Amino acid sequence: MAPHPTCIFCRIISGEEPCVQLFEDGDTLALMDRHPANDGHCLVIPKKHYETIFEMSSQDFASVARTVLKIAVGVRRGCSPGV
């Protein structure tokens, strides 16, 4: 999908909006949330624009899931949340 000019995530990926980047690969970007609900609150987004999760390809969804697992390990180590 093409970038959407009013999508904040597309603007972050294109560098038009700043972010605190945690990780990036060819398909995904992990960043800190601007208004975190809790310590370690971060986001993992696909680099392709999707209006909803239901429009994502299974390949892009799998890429996001792989990055979520990598980031979750770091959040767990860094924040030691009670589980």
Per residue in 31-80, pLDDT tens?
999 998 888 899 999 999 999 999 999 999 999 999 999 999 998 888 87
Q: Does residue 12 sit within a domain? A: yes
Sign of torsion over alpha carbons 10, 13, 17, 18: positive
Task: Write out the residue range of the structural domain in which residue 39 sits.
Answer: 8-77
Evaluate whether residue 2 is within a structural domain: no
Give how many domains the chain has, as a whole number: 1
CATH number of the domain at 56, please.
Answer: 3.30.428.10
What is the structure's pLDDT at 81?
A: 55
Residue 83 covered by a domain: no
Please, what's the b/e burial string for 18-56 (b: 16 or more CB within 10 A of its CB; e: otherwise)? ebeebeeeeebbbbeeeeeeeebebbbbbbbbbeeeeeb
- Write down the pLDDT at residue 46: 97
pTM for the full predicted model = 0.87
